[in-house]
């Protein structure tokens, strides 16, 4: 494989028509064919780019090829959002009577899908503690089809032992599907650990600029084709302009992730020493309970950290109020540092007892570091913390 920088820039060479260096945006919902025979061909070509944009578009093909290259996958497809990716994948690979294993600490939408939507269609679900590798194995049943993994997880930054979970799932005949949104392929390549499919919220680090919603699924052609067969039914179609924007963002992914990693590590180290902070959750810190695992399966530790304030909710509120550079916003993986109090963000969506049970405390602030200069960012946080109650 070429390096990440080269793969990000050249992964779609050969898929861009003409001599354009930047791919043209093919803003067309449909495509003409010269004969009925040709039309029959293009209408049945899996993930073709010459029939109808819900089936495929040149801008989809280019960005899917680049992400597949970065993840070391055979092929991929794109959807209108990360949730479009995982819900389409689940509908494609599951049937009534099947069972899935999902982590207790995982993106809220994934929890809603697994514990709310899928059971209505006769798919059972078991939630497990991802830090307990044996819990995955104990949850497996003969009818388990998918094990849904997210590592590091949102927002607790807990890790899943990919190789161990893959080994037990495969022994039981289940597929392992990994949400690689937090790590990005630059820091972690789940397919190398044996996972079957990887998906992303392209809205986050891949797009990288908080200006596009998108999703990606990559893996072997056979599985991706099954997901595509369902994608043309669910219709979670990424617009050509958004596919172009996603690719535009990915061109600089390896450069950005280097800075995200450096900023998050520097901030984690600085915050961990501050008296207003009870705990910093970041896989790159030796104090992270799974730091050894992080070093084993990640090549960088990502741009997201969790900060738990000693003064609980009041401390979190003071930190958020005192920050000048960081913006209070949902989402992550942006060029700009984004901070959020997860307990408040989810308050209207998930009940307090469930949030507490999931380990999301009142003093927790999620920080997604941007690509600002490290010293400016650290100064911004330390100044805000100095003004916060200890």
Measured from the CB atom, the residue of 88 and 270 that comes closer to ligand PLP is 88
Annotated catalytic residue 204:
yes
Token code pair at residue 152: 């590091």
For position 83 contacting ligand PLP by CB under 6 A, the verdict is yes
- Site pattern 329..348 for ligand PLP (x: CB under 6 A): ---x----------------
For position 103 contacting ligand PLP by CB under 6 A, the verdict is no
Least Å distance between CB 44 and ligand PLP? 29
| Region label for 210, one of left (φ > 0), alpha (ψ between -120 and 50) or beta (otherwise) | left
> At which residue do the structure tokens 């791919």 appear?
23
**Contact with ligand PLP (CB under 6 A) among 179, 242, 308, 362:** 179
How far is Cα 316 from Cα 313, in angstroms, rounded to an integer?
Answer: 5
Annotated catalytic residue 141:
no
Token code pair at residue 66: 């680049």
Alpha helices by DSSP H, the chain: 4-10, 36-44, 58-71, 82-93, 108-112, 118-120, 133-139, 162-171, 184-187, 221-234, 240-250, 253-272, 291-297, 312-322, 342-345, 352-357, 374-386
Annotated catalytic residue 54:
yes
Least Å distance between CB 219 and ligand PLP? 17
For position 368 contacting ligand PLP by CB under 6 A, the verdict is no
Cβ neighbours for 22, distance < 8 A, ≥ 6 positions apart: none
How far is Cα 56 from Cα 31, in angstroms, rounded to an integer?
Answer: 10
Measured from the CB atom, the residue of 130 and 181 that comes closer to ligand PLP is 181
For position 109 contacting ligand PLP by CB under 6 A, the verdict is yes
Largest CA distance in the chain: 74
For position 213 contacting ligand PLP by CB under 6 A, the verdict is yes
**Contact with ligand PLP (CB under 6 A) among 131, 151, 168, 181:** 181
The DSSP code sequence of 110-150 is HHHIIIIIHHHTT-EEEEE-TT-HHHHHHH--TTEEEEEEE
List 98, 161, 179, 362, catalytic entry: 179
The DSSP code sequence of 74-113 is SEEEEESSHHHHHHHHHHHH--TT-EEEEESSS-HHHHHI
List 47, 104, 189, 204, catalytic entry: 204
Measured from the CB atom, the residue of 209 and 313 that comes closer to ligand PLP is 209
Give the range of 18-26, 54-62, 201-209, 382-390 binding ligand PLP by CB under 6 A. Answer: 201-209
**Contact with ligand PLP (CB under 6 A) among 55, 107, 244, 381:** 107
Token code pair at residue 61: 């093909």
Least Å distance between CB 98 and ligand PLP? 22
Residue 382 phi, psi (nearest 5): -65, -40
Least Å distance between CB 336 and ligand PLP? 16
Measured from the CB atom, the residue of 76 and 315 that comes closer to ligand PLP is 76
List 52, 54, 226, 248, catalytic entry: 54
Q: Which residues bind ligand PLP (CB under 6 A)?
A: 81-83, 107, 109, 150, 154, 179, 181-182, 201, 203-204, 213, 215, 332
Catalytic residues: 54, 107, 179, 204
């Amino acid at each position: 494989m070429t390096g990440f920088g080269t793969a990000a820039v050249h992964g779609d060479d050969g898929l861009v028509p003409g001599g354009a260096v930047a791919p043209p945006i093919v803003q067309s919902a449909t495509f003409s064919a010269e004969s009925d025979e040709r039309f029959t061909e293009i209408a049945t070509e899996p993930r073709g780019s010459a029939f109808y944009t819900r089936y495929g578009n040149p801008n989809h093909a280019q960005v899917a090829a680049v992400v597949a290259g970065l993840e070391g996958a055979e092929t991929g497809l794109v959807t209108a959002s990360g949730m479009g990716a995982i819900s389409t994948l689940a509908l494609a690979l599951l049937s009534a009577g099947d069972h899935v294993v999902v982590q207790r600490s995982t993106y809220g939408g994934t929890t809603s899908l697994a514990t709310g939507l899928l059971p209505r269609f006769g798919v059972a679900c078991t939630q497990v503690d991802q830090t307990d590798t044996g819990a995955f194995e104990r949850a497996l049943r003969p009818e388990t089809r998918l094990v849904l993994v997210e590592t590091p997880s949102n927002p607790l930054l807990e890790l899943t032992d990919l190789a161990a979970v893959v080994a037990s799932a495969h022994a039981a005949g289940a597929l392992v599907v990994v949400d690689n949104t937090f790590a990005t392929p630059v820091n972690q390549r789940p397919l190398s650990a044996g996972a079957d499919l990887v998906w992303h919220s392209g809205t986050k680090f891949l797009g990288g600029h908080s200006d596009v919603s998108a999703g990606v699924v990559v893996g072997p052609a056979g599985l991706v084709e099954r997901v595509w067969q369902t994608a043309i039914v669910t219709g979670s179609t990424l617009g050509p302009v958004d596919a172009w924007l996603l690719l535009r963002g990915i061109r600089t992914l390896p450069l950005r992730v280097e800075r995200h990693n450096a900023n998050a590590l520097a901030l984690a180290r600085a915050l961990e020493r501050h008296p207003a902070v009870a705990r910093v959750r970041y896989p790159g810190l030796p104090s992270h309970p799974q730091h050894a695992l992080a070093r084993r399966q990640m090549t960088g530790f990502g741009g997201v950290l969790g900060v738990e304030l000693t003064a609980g909710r009041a401390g979190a509120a003071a930190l958020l109020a005192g920050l000048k550079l960081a913006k209070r916003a949902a989402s992550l993986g942006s060029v700009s540092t984004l901070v959020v109090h997860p307990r408040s963000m989810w308050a209207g969506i998930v009940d307090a007892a469930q949030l507490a049970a999931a380990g999301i405390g009142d003093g927790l602030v999620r920080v997604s570091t941007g690509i600002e200069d490290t010293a400016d960012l650290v100064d911004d946080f330390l100044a805000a913390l100095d003004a916060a109650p200890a």
